[in-house]
Chains A and B, each alone.
Chain A
Amino acid sequence: MTQTRNLIDSDGKRTDGRGIDELREVKISVGTVKNADGSAFIEFGKNKILAAVYGPREVHPKHMAQSDRCVLRCRYHMSPFSTDTRKNPAPSRREVEISKVMREALEPAVMLEDYPRAAIDVFVEVLQSDGGSRCAGITAAAVALADAGINMRDLVAACAAGKVDEKIVLDINDTEDKEGGADMPVAYMPRLEQVTLLQLDGNLSPDQFGECIDKAVGGCKMVYEIQKQALMQKYFGSETELQEEPQ
């Protein structure tokens, strides 16, 4: 990750015109996949990601079933047309790893013990990718789980922070991910104040580390509000106070 050009201009604006503490535009719609028990479509910057949840349902193969809780299964997958050069549709090692950390980010929120011997399947399909697709995917998956009526302790909101031009910035985009100094994706349960995913690529000094994790957690809290609003919109429609505000 060596930087070749300035990614923050003299006015403090980033390559996509945002300030350093600004989130990309996030839009979530709930219930977009008719057949699924729960679903959400998220646009997080240029990311376009669909999350669908099936279950609780019977486990196949049967030997995977657990007598005291359900198994949560998770697949993160990128469509071949989602990237600049075509992505081989077979699951890559990166996708295997992201499926794992994504599942581990969601599991603390799901009351698995309420559904013994069952499975809950979470499918996350990246239709168009931008930086931060795992965070956007987790955010959408948590909403889809809630939409499926799964018992949860909290939503899981995810957002990255990173280092660009020696500054800690919120929600880094694709260019900043590739050319910047560090990328730290975080998933967080705001009500329970628990971090469920933390990764880091790149170099941070001890001070920057603290600043970065605090900033990412702050971003997660912003994403959390958007998640709640999206769910309110589906289930309470125009009666929500969040909708009444513009009048």
Chain B
Amino acid sequence: MSSSRRSTIIVEHLRKQAMWDSLAKGKRLDGRDFSQQRPLEIEIDVIKKANGSARVKLGDSEVIAGIKVSTGEPFEGLENKGALIVTAEVLPTASAHAEPGPPDEEVIELARVVDRGVRESEMIDLDQLALVPGKIVYTIFVDCSVLNADGNLFDATSYAVVASLLTGKLPILEMKDGKVVDTGKTRPMPVTTVPISITAARIGDHVLIDPSSEEEGCMDARITITTTDESFCAIQKGSTGAFTVEQLKKAAETARTKGKEVRAKLKELENNG
């Protein structure tokens, strides 16, 4: 059964006070503005055995995503569509609090929220991924491993997934005598749009994007908003506090403007890739 941990890390009382004092002056402890992300670094094709991969550093949070393409049966009710599955794991390397073993609810939430952004935006045109409609379809696994956790794993993981899909290569498979044969050729993934998630934390009356783990230790509530060029496609409020409707509408607007910047950066990869 689930129960809340108040914070992911223990923040010293004095540090917390310092954070509140700083936020009251409009500055964060690491000097950022409320709507400023930490530096984002993306490296692609880091795993040669994968059909696409990306290593993302968002501040000191570091995530690696790798794509593996295979075939399988379609999902029930989606007989003529390929299957796209996003998973996430926080490796025991990631922090002193991470432990090996089955995923806890926070990790399950992380994987499902990232998966939802990609799925609901219809980033990948799954209609193009049926080999024998109703029987055999492409199965695309995007597995993510958090190597180092320093807050906002939602966005770091999401960017890694999107970057790997944008630059990944889909093996061209064919049916021969009832068997699936790899032709040895590849083509780009059938990408239709680029979903970008922006996560914000509320600390007292302040809402700030891309919280570090120190800020997450002080936060009252969290909101992850995923946008495409045209629309909002997925939202998840998290943590034990609440938001006012006004705060949420403002966060949505920030997710759109910031999302545009990150999207431009990710699209560059696609062009260079």
Q: Which residues of the other chain, B, contact A204 by a CB distance below 8 angstroms?
A: 231-233
Chain B minimum-CB-distance residue to A75: B1
Selected contact of B232 from candidates A1, A64, A107, A206, CB within 8 Å: A206
Q: Which residues of the other chain, A, contact B238 by a CB distance below 8 angstroms?
A: 101, 104
State whether B236 touches A199 (Cβ < 8 A): yes
A5 located at the interface, meaning its Cβ lies under 8 Å from any Cβ of chain B in the complex? no
Chain B 225-256, CB-CB to A under 8 Å as 1, else 0, gives 00010111111111111111100110011001
Given contacts A184-B235, A203-B228, A213-B248, contact A196 B108 (CB under 8 A): no
Chain B minimum-CB-distance residue to A194: B242
State whether A107 touches B240 (Cβ < 8 A): yes
> In the complex, A197→B223 CA distance in Å?
10
Within 8 A of A (CB), among B62-96: 76
Given contacts A97-B105, A121-B1, A205-B231, contact A108 B120 (CB under 8 A): no
Q: Which residues of the other chain, B, contact A74 by a CB distance below 8 angstroms?
A: 1-3
A217 located at the interface, meaning its Cβ lies under 8 Å from any Cβ of chain B in the complex? yes
A164 located at the interface, meaning its Cβ lies under 8 Å from any Cβ of chain B in the complex? no
Shortest Cβ distance from residue A179 to the other chain B in the assembled complex, whole angstroms: 11
Selected contact of A96 from candidates B3, B105, B233, B237, CB within 8 Å: B105
B4 located at the interface, meaning its Cβ lies under 8 Å from any Cβ of chain A in the complex? yes
Shortest Cβ distance from residue A165 to the other chain B in the assembled complex, whole angstroms: 16
B116 located at the interface, meaning its Cβ lies under 8 Å from any Cβ of chain A in the complex? yes
State whether B244 touches A195 (Cβ < 8 A): yes
State whether A104 touches B4 (Cβ < 8 A): yes
B121 located at the interface, meaning its Cβ lies under 8 Å from any Cβ of chain A in the complex? yes
Shortest Cβ distance from residue A1 to the other chain B in the assembled complex, whole angstroms: 7
> In the complex, A14→B89 CA distance in Å?
42
Q: Which residues of the other chain, B, contact A189 by a CB distance below 8 angstroms?
A: 242
B109 located at the interface, meaning its Cβ lies under 8 Å from any Cβ of chain A in the complex? yes
State whether B231 touches A107 (Cβ < 8 A): no
Selected contact of B233 from candidates A97, A108, A200, CB within 8 Å: A200
Q: What is the number of contacts between chain A and chain B, taking CB atoms within 8 Å?
A: 119
State whether A217 touches B120 (Cβ < 8 A): no
Chain A 150-192, CB-CB to B under 8 Å as 1, else 0, gives 0000000000000000000000000000000000100001001
Selected contact of A202 from candidates B230, B233, B248, B256, CB within 8 Å: B233
> In the complex, A85→B112 CA distance in Å?
22
Given contacts A93-B108, A184-B235, A200-B232, contact A195 B2 (CB under 8 A): no
A114 located at the interface, meaning its Cβ lies under 8 Å from any Cβ of chain B in the complex? no
State whether A199 touches B245 (Cβ < 8 A): no
State whether B3 touches A71 (Cβ < 8 A): yes
Within 8 A of A (CB), among B100-130: 105-106, 108-109, 111-112, 116, 120-121
Chain B 33-49, CB-CB to A under 8 Å as 1, else 0, gives 00000000000000000
A21 located at the interface, meaning its Cβ lies under 8 Å from any Cβ of chain B in the complex? no
> In the complex, A85→B243 CA distance in Å?
37
A214 located at the interface, meaning its Cβ lies under 8 Å from any Cβ of chain B in the complex? yes
Chain A 89-120, CB-CB to B under 8 Å as 1, else 0, gives 00001101101110110011000000000000
> In the complex, A97→B243 CA distance in Å?
20
Shortest Cβ distance from residue B5 to the other chain A in the assembled complex, whole angstroms: 10
> In the complex, A104→B243 CA distance in Å?
12
State whether B248 touches A99 (Cβ < 8 A): no
Chain B minimum-CB-distance residue to A71: B3
Chain B minimum-CB-distance residue to A216: B245
> In the complex, A71→B1 CA distance in Å?
11
Within 8 A of B (CB), among A190-234: 192-206, 208-210, 213-214, 217
State whether A107 touches B236 (Cβ < 8 A): no
Q: Which residues of the other chain, B, contact A205 by a CB distance below 8 angstroms?
A: 230-232
State whether A213 touches B249 (Cβ < 8 A): yes
State whether A97 touches B1 (Cβ < 8 A): no
> In the complex, A103→B4 CA distance in Å?
8
Chain B 122-166, CB-CB to A under 8 Å as 1, else 0, gives 000000000000000000000000000000000000000000000
A-side residues, CB < 8 A to B, are: 1, 64, 71-75, 85, 93-94, 96-97, 99-101, 103-104, 107-108, 121, 184, 189, 192-206, 208-210, 213-214, 217
Known contacts A64-B3, A104-B239, A198-B243; 7 further A-B pairs (Cβ under 8 A): A71-B4, A85-B76, A103-B240, A108-B241, A204-B232, A208-B231, A209-B252
B-side residues, CB < 8 A to A, are: 1-4, 76, 105-106, 108-109, 111-112, 116, 120-121, 223, 228, 230-245, 248-249, 252-253, 256
Interface CB pairs A-B, < 8 A, 7: A72-B4, A73-B3, A97-B108, A99-B1, A108-B241, A189-B242, A203-B230
